[in-house]
Amino acid sequence: MRIPFIAGNWKMYKTVREAVTFVNELRSAVHGIADVTIVVGPPFTALHPVAQAVRDTNIAVAAQNLYWEREGAFTGEVSPGMIKEAGAEYAIVGHSERRRLFGETDAIVNRKTMAAIAEGLTPIVCIGETLEERERDETLAVLDRQIKGGLDRLAAGQVGALVMAYEPVWAIGTGRTATAAQAGEAHAHIRKRLRQWFGGDAADRCRVIYGGSVKPDNISALIAEPDVDGALVGGASLEVKSFLEIVTKCRSAAV
């Protein structure tokens, strides 16, 4: 049975002080919870202080991005090795904001995914369709393209160990959320393709989570879908109370 996975993507929010204050409060609130994987994704400036603050707890840390090269003349970029040294265990790859605002392609997502794995980081690989693509009934074809491109050349064992995040672009930061049925259909399709292309063990082990305006009042319906293994939470992860409520409801649904 896959353990539910809840990750908070803080995006470009929180100073170092705010980030450490947040995880100190969260650490006490989630102490003893072992049946949900809990991850926070601070901005790069707070990555190391947050990792230090949650050391030896049940909270893990994710970077929001990474570059695929080990080192070099790449102004402004951060390598997988730097991220791991800072204390992260996960790296978010291919978020729709990276694709839309910074031109990341499936090929770039693939390079970042492979670089993260090579450094011992677990990628959280994001895929999802735009509103226009959904209205043209292209959702499943888009997911196929992004899975094929993003996971190209990965072995079955590597796919089984990573996290896939289905994030319909039209639901991110808009207040709109895919219905539980829409999310369930997309997740079932993703699982089907993972089984078809990487084998049953990889498909059964890989956690496929939902992202897109996840809130305490919709997580229960989402997590009730058999192929929804958790959530990548945006705005609701910025407050301890709402993030904790999501973790708790996800935990209850898994019992």
Catalytic residues: 95, 167
CA distance 243 to 33: 14
**Which structure tokens are listed for 130?**
């735009």
> Dmax over Cα atoms in the chain, in whole Å?
49
Residue 238 φ then ψ, to 5°: -85, -10
Q: What angle do CA 145, 12, 219 make, to 5 degrees?
A: 60
Surface-to-core class of residue 57, CB atoms within 10 Å of its CB (0-12 exposed, 13-18 middle, 19+ buried)? middle
**Mind giving me the DSSP string for 136-168?**
TT-HHHHHHHHHHHHTTT--HHHHHHSEEEE--
Taking the C-alpha atoms of residue 43 and residue 16, their distance in angstroms, rounded to an integer, is 9
With both helix axes pointing from N to C terminus, report the angle between 44-53 and 16-29 in degrees, rounded to the nearest 10. Answer: 30
CA–CA gap between residue 76 and residue 98 (Å, rounded): 15
Q: Where are the beta strands (DSSP E) in 55-127?
A: 59-63, 90-93, 122-127
* CA–CA separation, 207 and 242 (whole Å): 22
